[in-house]
Structure 1
């Protein structure tokens, strides 16, 4: 027998490195793929593919890779620097109890968090059903006719409400949006930022002042910021007489006891679903709810889930009114939102399902009862309680003792909110108990207060009779059936089983980078030290968070070559918006506020022109040449013609066509020569990390999709994070925050999202990803992403045309295959191929973007050669089926592609009358039978769904 050489201690210690877990192909597979490309090494592939002019001459100046155990151990020490106290700050964020059955089986379950946005609804029925439950929850509690499938947070939802109000108000000549001074300060901040970009006037004041103004819309808070309850029916009626659209930001738990804003007359109702079982997480991620009247359905922002039918006539859900999606409407889009908060919306919906209407009322009544008891005791002791009506929040006038008593509360383990002129607010929540009431009495009144919870308990309420809810809500069976843990567990599992995720197979979506979301990266998200932190907690209590964010900031600066990072944007699209605002403010600071032209290549992602529209820029399209590259001559001509008004260029790199454009530095130089700035869309940053840097290429600002390049999971369509990197001259103009002032940005730079660091709790994922890979691992990930893409492109090119290639015939990290010639010859469309892939157990690549009639494929670095080959083998088999249609041996209309996907109902149908076998339908290749994934519905009729818009929960009978 041959002797195996023993490994050294250093080699043994390195065998547990994370890079071996993250990168799919091992050394043998990598060499096999390189051999198929005719290349000796990865270095040669990079030389062949990436322009030398943009390549780094030095490796990233970062620490080396850390093992998973080392990383989690260090982060646990950092987390220990956070001081957890009972946060009674309120202000839109509340402690909540996440039901463990939801925590373990949804939030911590890759079957839920690794799924993609439901653009292929036949393999996404589980989360679509959950989202339509969220919409039903929203409609029931708000009293609105229609609801979206969630927005990014309460403040940005309020900004979207303002934009909707402007679109639909009949007071067309008016430019004023009024904000009640009782609204949350972070909401006012974000609304002002959005209004400034849109050119709207904003006035903040009392409701009495509102009635003296000519306005197109108004935002009210319910309950008010100080906790008081106001019956605004007469106010709303008067505003309607003035043709104003009335928007109401509401507390979701209070709506279990309060009359719905819809019953009071509101036109739009919005808020945060956070306190329905989603941790505070230092600000997010949290799903915002948004409901409006049916007559405004064509203007509602974000996504709506609707009920349609499949080819068997069975009910099936899909994203409705998809023509409003930003990638189609571009600069005419209603907003630039392309990310919902699906995972968090699902959690909130499941929280409502688990507790049901009676359970939710008990929670709400308990919170209110504790608030009542606390208020009675304080009043009895002579404390001045400002608000006589309330749901869960009391405002106290403590005068000169404000600071002393707030500190005493903090020392006793409670965070209160300090307002102006001696005011302090206390917001009770689901986690509070009678012992907390007693402790607060002791803090505020002294040890000898002599008060008793039992003595002060009463069934009377501080909710005015006119505002007490008396209508039936949450009557749908889904809210009244799954209350035992056994039933709830099976309900969650039934929905999960309908969805294809990364737990089943690769999801090779171009521009979406569905890479491994490692378990070790996900674990810290639900640590209490990170999950249970209020975003407005005192700075000394948040040192662990600030250290982690600071370290991530430094790592991202080194990776991108930028001078500063703004962590606030909650999605890539919001990052685009934030970056464009920084450019706009910079030009204004230079006395060049007239610069408003945004040049955008014709290949750009649809959020680019939509974001430019939100920043009130004028979009001018730059053409692309026959190879898919920016037409540099066209750019040069337009930049010169528009030099006086040129604000910026938005460009994706590598290009949206999956190619490293050779002239990218020249492109940046042209824009700079004519006074413009370069915004680099970070969608394809996964092909740059460790090899190049946007800041060195010539970009002035770029967003980083942390949910793509840096491993935050997509969550079925959200959460996301899109921080931006900027050069030094733009750093003063990125977002600040009115509640928590940030170091660096100008004090008057408005917020773009509700929390100072956006969805801070999921920043731990990207922090861990970078720490465990280190400089070498980051570069290796990029190199392997490029290798995997070129290997797939090479194999596929023998059967399908690859539309664009760069130098030496290589692609970057993704490739586009052209199905248009096949459609012309056979009638088989890209949609038919996408649906047929489901029969092989795969989610389709990105369909018809950026070129209609194509599929854009991105394998990422995390997929093994075996998985790449499975996908390519499926595509080759599909090409063979298309050939049979071309040859006439398969019916042009009745074939396995046109009928795809095939469900178990098809296979069990005794009336099978198709000219191909059931075996060919369901098991087209032998390996498909191993762990077969069955789509739960047949092909969905989108046209029927749009013509028969139905966005509430179907009756349970429809599922039987």
Structure 2
């Protein structure tokens, strides 16, 4: 009889997360000439960095136990009806959208759509997002999402400075902009050297203003005519920026019709839960003249090799990689999954549905306003869409509100605001009347006030006639077709079928860690206890979040070897920015504000120099040697040269080229000796968890990509999270938050919400708890095993560009395609596109070295999938050999024509030098199961020359 301990192993999460079985691991280890994972670790990691203890984190526990325990924690949160507003509102997530996008791994496990041929579905939905924003704001161009409204405003500020003729240095913010937006703007403006002035834009606009931001509707509910303000801003040659509400724009005159140059905002109330602050898709729309400088990703229309209309990510979407230290934005990830949800919400409801939702919100607000007036509680704002602000006995009102499970917005000034939303019902309005007025009876008539009968109310509606919208919106057929659930379900499934995600196979992207996003980890995201909380709800209503966040912070601190963690940054690039921000504040506290030189290796990710530049730092590039490592002699020389002004060194470890550099501790000591701090980019933390700790190596701060190492899915290009860990001396300088303080620090906010995208943090929390200390260590070891196995199997066919000690790589390896390109003309792009025919997403192309492919298999891929990928790469190598041997010209090769579509197979003419079977079924595996690219190779040059980022006419899609 089997012992009970063996039987209990059936509930072991570690074996489900890790792809290769024990027997398969033994086979792979033998291939590498070692006998165990520990021996592999010892022969791969330098002795000086190894952590030999045990992590002090929760678990391991079973999935059932982990979910039950977290549910108990979540139950400590109190889900009140929220009328706080400030850019966060209740919303109804359409069930068809929740089940088929938010909860569907076909959508949430996809990668950023850099490979357009296998991303046409999400590209189309992101194009719908852009069209929704353009239509509702009245602007000619929009990006495909930013991180949150506050950071979008900060991005708009730097875009304005880059574009306008004004030589001034003042950025003006209207006094009724959301306070969290002002907080982030002030943080960002400080190191750009901008002066932020707050006041009334109608009267206080100063000379030297290069940009002015207003909120429309204002944070207290007012609606104002924007045109006169726009004229004043333009008169001083500045850019007029408007933060707006898309639902309000269904009824009010859009900013684009009132002179706005840039329009920003959040799409949260388009079917995305509040989630204690995120994730939510922000947007930035602008004038056509600004489009080439617009931050973030933009989806453009192009053509494929057959001339069909296709979609792609437009050229400027990786600005920081092109301009590096000259960039004014470090945006790398976006909020694609949430942008897809918001776009689907617009598609499902259509223009009439959106208009009716907006009218219902506005009508109920008008009914509430009329009763308050009749009760001698006149709102301070005479115009409104969904928000009313008044003065009253805050203590009494708050007591009545909390007794009914209601949250209002209270300010120290005595003002109280109430914001209605899509979820508000007539019964809710009756409760609000009782809470605010203290009675359910009309003060004048003495009769019970019946909200239901008030739909016949004929009074003013809060929107002045000159601010009522008259222009149409969402006129494209995509917004006027899919209104039944059957139609919407089929539309979403059709888009999903055009995409490649982890449900299809391995996504072997180096630097991006496309690992398993376990279903158990994803389940709590849609629990109302996590999803329905306002980020500024009172602390006594968020005790469950507080417990989970504190535990997660402690675990991440232990895993990294740091002393404190901030969960505020809501992307990796935001984490870079926040980490360098703490360093700058630390130096200033010591009277060393002059330490502004930042040393960065030449191989660094483009966001590193961009982040440093955004903090007013002088970027000094450090050479790398022939092995890809930091050139120690050059580092020593530049550290010595800039010793008096040295602020920081930014490094990635393991290095960007996938190797554990042996001199990392020496590097850290050198920087400290010259008075600098070490920022260690945690992008490659998946090769360190349980084996090494950045804080023990010698670094002072790191950001962690939770959407990589800690299992938050990439979502087709976001959400992400980039919390930072710091040593004790930097902890007093972590980001804080004006609206909801998270400590004693005087450092400003870097994100709109105090805990960034809080509702996805349960994913990483469960990942750590399910694996536990031993599981986390083993996951890292198998990530090393899988990468080294691939490197060993492919090394004879493709040169492995860089290796570390004993010829090992870390969690990723780089194949050098340049010799093959020189010999045959076949490029890394040809290989990437041909891999689609074999049923794979391409590895990372031309990063960190042009002409290469960087592969990261992760620990989650089983040996069979690794072998399938190896077979595909060897098959492609044989096809390259045919070109090398002169059997086919490069232009005649299947590599140059890849990917091949179903249309290729059924076309009447076939004049190529290889068979249709070779084109579509290069190995027997494709006959058993075939993934079909939706389009042929996309013409990027055409898309750049003919920049279009709106939905094309239906006739152009007819042939697709």
TM-score range, shorter chain: over 0.9
Determine which of 822, 825, 828 is the counterpart of 2:820.
822
Q: How far does the alpha carbon of each residue in 1:545-585 deviate from its partner, in whole angstroms, 9 at most, with x for none?
A: 11111110111011001000010001000000000011011
Matched residue, 1:50: 45
**How many Å apart are 1:456 and its aligned residue?**
3.6
Q: How far does the alpha carbon of each residue in 1:733-759 deviate from its partner, in whole angstroms, 9 at most, with x for none?
A: 11100100112x41x210000000000
Aligned mates of 1:248, 1:811 — CA distance in 2: 49
Aligned mates of 2:56, 2:134 — CA distance in 1: 52
Matched residue, 1:75: 70
Matched residue, 1:291: 285
Aligned mates of 2:918, 2:368 — CA distance in 1: 69
Aligned mates of 2:326, 2:130 — CA distance in 1: 25
Matched residue, 2:730: 730
Matched residue, 1:186: 180
**How many Å apart are 1:209 and its aligned residue?**
4.2
Contact 2:199/2:205 (CA < 8 Å) preserved in 1?
no
Determine which of 364, 370, 381 is the counterpart of 2:364.
370
Q: How do 1:404-423 and structure 2 match up within 5 A?
A: 404-423=396-415
Query: Is 1:864–2:862 an aligned residue pair?
Result: yes
Q: How far does the alpha carbon of each residue in 1:857-897 deviate from its partner, in whole angstroms, 9 at most, with x for none?
A: 00000001100000010000000000000111112212100
Aligned mates of 1:551, 1:454 — CA distance in 2: 47
Matched residue, 1:425: 417
**How many Å apart are 1:8 and its aligned residue?**
1.1
Q: How do 1:465-504 and structure 2 match up within 5 A?
A: 465-504=465-504
Matched residue, 2:298: 304
SS at match of 2:127: helix
**How many Å apart are 1:959 and its aligned residue?**
1.6
Q: How far does the alpha carbon of each residue in 1:673-713 deviate from its partner, in whole angstroms, 9 at most, with x for none?
A: 00000000001000000001000001100000000000000
Q: How do 1:298-377 and structure 2 match up within 5 A?
A: 298-322=292-316, 324-377=318-371
Aligned mates of 1:392, 1:303 — CA distance in 2: 31
Contact 1:648/1:676 (CA < 8 Å) preserved in 2?
yes
Q: How far does the alpha carbon of each residue in 1:373-404 deviate from its partner, in whole angstroms, 9 at most, with x for none?
A: 01101111111211111000000111xx1122
Aligned mates of 1:93, 1:409 — CA distance in 2: 19
Aligned mates of 2:584, 2:758 — CA distance in 1: 26
Matched residue, 1:649: 649
Q: How do 1:127-166 and structure 2 match up within 5 A?
A: 127-166=122-161
Contact 2:328/2:614 (CA < 8 Å) preserved in 1?
no
Matched residue, 2:445: none
SS at match of 1:776: helix
Matched residue, 1:701: 701
Q: How far does the alpha carbon of each residue in 1:782-837 deviate from its partner, in whole angstroms, 9 at most, with x for none?
A: 00000000000000001110000000000000000000000000100000000000
**How many Å apart are 1:9 and its aligned residue?**
1.1
SS at match of 1:289: strand
Q: How far does the alpha carbon of each residue in 1:69-113 deviate from its partner, in whole angstroms, 9 at most, with x for none?
A: 010000000010000111000000000000000000000000000
- Structure-2 change in CA distance of 1:64 and 1:455 (3 Å): closer
Matched residue, 1:230: 224
Determine which of 266, 272, 280 is the counterpart of 2:260.
266
Matched residue, 2:778: 780
Determine which of 450, 453, 475 is the counterpart of 1:452.
450
Aligned mates of 2:318, 2:56 — CA distance in 1: 44
Matched residue, 1:896: 894
- Structure-2 change in CA distance of 1:350 and 1:885 (3 Å): same
Aligned mates of 1:211, 1:283 — CA distance in 2: 32
**How many Å apart are 1:930 and its aligned residue?**
2.2
Aligned mates of 1:577, 1:642 — CA distance in 2: 22
Aligned mates of 1:272, 1:448 — CA distance in 2: 37
Contact 2:430/2:440 (CA < 8 Å) preserved in 1?
no
**How many Å apart are 1:41 and its aligned residue?**
1.1
**How many Å apart are 1:455 and its aligned residue?**
4.8
SS at match of 2:897: coil
Matched residue, 1:115: 110
Matched residue, 1:711: 711
**How many Å apart are 1:407 and its aligned residue?**
2.2
Contact 2:273/2:531 (CA < 8 Å) preserved in 1?
yes
- Structure-2 change in CA distance of 1:447 and 1:365 (3 Å): closer
Aligned mates of 1:533, 1:929 — CA distance in 2: 49
**How many Å apart are 1:472 and its aligned residue?**
1.1
Aligned mates of 2:413, 2:615 — CA distance in 1: 37
Contact 1:376/1:456 (CA < 8 Å) preserved in 2?
no
Greater Cα shift, 583-592 or 929-938: 929-938
Query: Is 1:670–2:665 an aligned residue pair?
Result: no
Query: Is 1:764–2:762 an aligned residue pair?
Result: yes
Q: How do 1:381-392 and structure 2 match up within 5 A?
A: 381-392=375-386
Contact 1:324/1:334 (CA < 8 Å) preserved in 2?
no
Aligned mates of 1:723, 1:49 — CA distance in 2: 28
Aligned mates of 1:852, 1:572 — CA distance in 2: 23
Aligned mates of 1:811, 1:212 — CA distance in 2: 57
CA RMSD of aligned residues (A): 1.0
Aligned mates of 1:502, 1:590 — CA distance in 2: 49
Aligned mates of 1:672, 1:512 — CA distance in 2: 30
Q: How far does the alpha carbon of each residue in 1:10-55 deviate from its partner, in whole angstroms, 9 at most, with x for none?
A: 2212331100100000001000001111111111111110011111
Query: Is 1:23–2:18 an aligned residue pair?
Result: yes
Matched residue, 2:615: 615
Matched residue, 2:918: 920
Aligned mates of 2:536, 2:95 — CA distance in 1: 26
Aligned mates of 2:756, 2:835 — CA distance in 1: 37
**How many Å apart are 1:7 and its aligned residue?**
2.2
Contact 2:207/2:236 (CA < 8 Å) preserved in 1?
no
Contact 1:49/1:810 (CA < 8 Å) preserved in 2?
yes
- Structure-2 change in CA distance of 1:64 and 1:82 (3 Å): closer
Query: Is 1:505–2:505 an aligned residue pair?
Result: yes
Matched residue, 2:9: 14
Contact 1:178/1:210 (CA < 8 Å) preserved in 2?
no
Q: How many residues align?
A: 950
SS at match of 2:301: strand
Determine which of 228, 234, 257 is the counterpart of 1:240.
234
Contact 1:65/1:773 (CA < 8 Å) preserved in 2?
yes
SS at match of 1:248: strand
Matched residue, 1:439: 431
**How many Å apart are 1:441 and its aligned residue?**
1.3
SS at match of 1:338: coil
Gaps of at least 5 residues in structure 1 are 1-5
Matched residue, 1:100: 95
**How many Å apart are 1:328 and its aligned residue?**
2.8
Determine which of 214, 239, 247 is the counterpart of 1:220.
214
SS at match of 1:637: helix
Matched residue, 1:637: 637
Matched residue, 1:168: 163
SS at match of 2:895: coil
Matched residue, 2:953: 955
Contact 1:517/1:713 (CA < 8 Å) preserved in 2?
yes
Aligned mates of 1:243, 1:444 — CA distance in 2: 45
**How many Å apart are 1:323 and its aligned residue?**
7.1
SS at match of 1:49: coil
**How many Å apart are 1:454 and its aligned residue?**
4.2
- Structure-2 change in CA distance of 1:447 and 1:177 (3 Å): same
Aligned mates of 2:652, 2:2 — CA distance in 1: 45
SS at match of 2:637: helix
Greater Cα shift, 343-352 or 63-72: 63-72
Query: Is 1:393–2:387 an aligned residue pair?
Result: yes
Aligned mates of 1:411, 1:323 — CA distance in 2: 49
Matched residue, 1:3: none
- Structure-2 change in CA distance of 1:455 and 1:493 (3 Å): closer
Gaps of at least 5 residues in structure 2 are 443-447
**How many Å apart are 1:461 and its aligned residue?**
1.4
**How many Å apart are 1:242 and its aligned residue?**
1.2
